[in-house]
Every structure is written in structure tokens, then in C-alpha cells.
A and B are shown apart, each in its own frame.
Chain A
Amino acid sequence: KQEVTQIPAALSVPEGENLVLNCSFTDSAIYNLQWFRQDPGKGLTSLLLIQSSQREQTSGRLNASLDKSSGRSTLYIAASQPGDSATYLCAAYGGSQGNLIFGKGTKLSVKP
């Protein structure tokens, strides 16, 4: 059964720092991995989708990598801003369950 873990659960950084959010999954037989952002009380905003055949994806200040063999993905945020404050969720699709399995998220706070 696929399990997705995100460490740390919460992170506080000063504005301008580069940071890395971690995501690990137990079943490497995934089709893709997606990173989302969720603001308090809101739905999820898709940030990046990495297909199983890809190693990384980039969008603006965000870069996500995928290493299936080690069961890990990282989300790199460059030059963090207060507006980046949100909960970041990763979700793996595939394995034996055939649906998106979410981690519990990392709550990021960027201090001005």
C-alpha cells in the first residue's frame, strides 16, 4: 500500500531564503507525482506535475525533482517570499491503488 510522507510538517524561514521541501513514497511504481499548494480554507492549486519518465520540472522559482529508485521527490523554492506562505502537499499517482495518495503536507511560513 502506497504511503506518502512529508518532512518537516512545518517550516519557518526568513524572506529571501532558498528552501527544499521533501516528499517520500513507499511504492516506486508510480505514474506521476504532483505538487500542490493549499492556502487556509481553500482548495488545492497545482504547482508541478512530474511524469514517472521525467527527473524534474520547473516553473518560475519552483523546481521539483523525482527519484523513483529512492522513493523521493523534492520541491525547491528559490528566493522565498511572504506570499509563498501556505501548506505544500505532494501526491503520488499509481502503485497498486490507482489514485492520488497525498502526504500530510508541509506548512511553510515565510517571514518578512
Chain B
Amino acid sequence: KAGVTQTPRYLIKTRGQQVTLSCSPISGHRSVSWYQQTPGQGLQFLFEYFSETQRNKGNFPGRFSGRQFSNSRSEMNVSTLELGDSALYLCASSAGTAVRYEQYFGPGTRLTVT
């Protein structure tokens, strides 16, 4: 089985721009979660989608949004980028809601905001 894939792997954007990141889960997985990883804050939860519905959302401003499509692929969007948004963005998929199922992570998208 192919693992979780994320595109693009690297992005450089300018302050004020917006960006869209994509995540394709493992085949058959219906839950996708997004995390932001920075050296200072570590890994922080952004949101979780299951069957196209947002189940849970972390403590991030409304500039961060996401969606999930009927094929379970997910996108996250960050509008009006700030320097502090520079981070590794990771998505994880699981067979069901993350309560009981192992989460499998993709390689991440490295976003640099200049």
C-alpha cells in the first residue's frame, strides 16, 4: 500500500500571500488530520476531517482552513501568510476516527514565508 503523500514538499511564499497544501491518505483511510511543527512549539494539531466533515479543530486563527473531498483527499489553506507560519506541515491518515486507530504520517510540506 502506498503511504500518505503530501504535495508540494517545499514551498516559499511571501507575507500576505495564500497557500494551499494537499494530502492524499492511505487507500481506504477516511480520516485525515493536519499538524504544524515548529522548533519552538513542537507539533500542534490543526484539524481533523472524517468523511468530508471537520470533526475537531485546534487553536489556530481562522486564516487556517481545510476541507476533505469525497475520495478522502484533503487540502489545507492558509491565507494572508505571516512569517510565523513558516513550519513543517504534516498530515496523518487513519482508518477511522483517531480515537482507536493508528495514525500514519506523510513526509510533510516545508513552508517558508519570507
Are A51 and B100 within 8 A (Cβ)? yes
Q: How many residues of A contact B (CB 8 A)?
A: 25
Binds A, one of B11-19, B71-79, B105-113: B105-113
Are B43 and A89 within 8 A (Cβ)? yes
A20-55: CB near B (< 8 Å → 1, else 0) gives: 000000000001101010000111111001010000
Interface of chain B residues 58 through 114 with chain A (CB within 8 A):
58, 90, 92, 98-100, 102-108, 110
Give the size category of B's interface with A.
Answer: 20 to 34
**Given A43-B90, A43-B108, A101:B45 Cβ within 8 A:** yes
Are A44 and B105 within 8 A (Cβ)? yes
Any chain A CB within 8 A of the CB of B53? no
Give the A-B pair count, Cβ closer than 8 A: 55
Any chain B CB within 8 A of the CB of A71? no
Any chain A CB within 8 A of the CB of B56? yes
Are A44 and B90 within 8 A (Cβ)? yes
Please list the residues of chain B having a beta carbon within 8 angstroms of any beta carbon in chain A: 4, 6, 33, 35, 42-45, 48, 55-56, 58, 90, 92, 98-100, 102-108, 110
Please list the residues of chain A having a beta carbon within 8 angstroms of any beta carbon in chain B: 31-32, 34, 36, 41-46, 49, 51, 89, 91, 93-94, 97-105
